Amino acid sequence: MRVPKVEINKILYATDLSKNARHAFGYAVSLANLYEAQLVILYVESDDPHIEERLMKHVDKDQWEKIKKQNMANAREVLIGKKKQSETIRQVLNHFCNCAAESSGSSLATMDEIEILAGHPANEIISHTKEKKCDLIILGSHGQTTSFDKNIGTTAEEVLRKARVPVMLVHGSGENQD
């Protein structure tokens, strides 16, 4: 039997900023480095009243104040339509990626981009995977749960059903999820 060579050129890492998603990030970076693949980071915005609390867990207090101050200046531009409201999330994700690379002592994989979209998480993950021609999806097995998710199944389960590329679900370390 001949085993085909697996080529992974681009990995989509989907995050909801939960502890489990942060844990999955380590796997995404490791595999991207191993395969010398580009890493696309995707966050799908939803109507989450606790988003600020989750964002603050990824940066220290001084960094959070700096981001808030910068975004206060950008708020005027957001209101007149010159900037996207997702700048705060983008800055936190950038800071998180840089800190993760520093703490691991290794270089971060080639980052294609950080994408922040709005919509149904599983559908956005699937469509973005196709659009970016990703070879692998990596996400945490449990993250944020809403009553909507309970009715249709978790985002991870839905991605598994719909994806046409391999999906790696990373289970947490047994800790409670955010």
pLDDT digits (tens, 9 = 90+) for 62-108: 877 777 666 655 555 545 454 455 677 777 777 777 766 666 555 55
Residues 136 and 169 placed together within one structural domain of the fold: yes
Q: What is the DSSP letter of 110?
A: E
Residues 52 and 103 placed together within one structural domain of the fold: yes
Q: Give the pLDDT band (50/70/90) at residue 14.
A: very high
Residues 41 and 91 placed together within one structural domain of the fold: no
Say if residue 126's pLDDT is above 60: yes
How many domains does the chain fold into?
2
Say if residue 16's pLDDT is above 90: no
- The answer as to whether 12 is a domain residue is no
CA distance 87 to 90: 5
CA distance 72 to 3: 55
Which residues, at least 6 apart from 98, have a Cβ–Cβ distance to it below 8 Å? 108
Range of the domain at 61: 48-108
Q: How many residues does the chain have?
A: 178
- The answer as to whether 70 is a domain residue is yes
Q: Give the pLDDT band (50/70/90) at residue 178.
A: very low
Residues 30 and 54 placed together within one structural domain of the fold: no
Q: Give the pLDDT band (50/70/90) at residue 131.
A: very high
> What angle in degrees, to the nearest 10, is found between the helix axes of 121-132 and 155-162?
40
Residues 128 and 40 placed together within one structural domain of the fold: yes
Say if residue 42's pLDDT is above 60: yes
Q: What percent of the chain has pLDDT over 70?
A: 62
- The answer as to whether 77 is a domain residue is yes
Amino acid found at 96:
F
- The answer as to whether 7 is a domain residue is no
Residues 62 and 86 placed together within one structural domain of the fold: yes
Q: For residue 51, how far is the Cα from the chain centroid?
A: 14
Residues 88 and 136 placed together within one structural domain of the fold: no
- The answer as to whether 11 is a domain residue is no
- The answer as to whether 2 is a domain residue is no
Q: How far is CA 14 from CA 18, 62, 85, 105, in A?
A: 11, 27, 19, 23
Residues 56 and 104 placed together within one structural domain of the fold: yes
pLDDT on residue 84? 53
